[in-house]
Structure 1
């Protein structure tokens, strides 16, 4: 799948926000991956903006981080 520069920038912003929220809670990547029931390698790629994240994984991440998805995307 080809990603446009705009899509790449969006994915990078999403990944950065997830990393910031995780770090605010002082959680390791492994802790968040376990809580969200996603693979650690996938979480690393998401935080780096290196992959498309599906809605199910985003929902699991939001719930694990205790953040409403609407509020999350509103600040991007």
Structure 2
């Protein structure tokens, strides 16, 4: 998996879980481009697709513009 030290990013949050493997491996300098690219959203063309909207705030109530919410088993 990833390494520690210069050149490697770690998740910015201070509480977990943060399981980044496979979400956007290029962001963390992992050489797993064959597993998934940087496209995290597929076009909505399936009948069971859902849309989630909202805002994510930090501990002081400031909006986090680049927040990512990972949803598992949303069916």
TM-score bracket, shorter-length normalisation: under 0.3
TM-score by length of 1: 0.21
TM-score by length of 2: 0.21
Q: Which has the higher helix share?
A: 1
Higher relative contact order (CA 8 A, sep 6+): 1
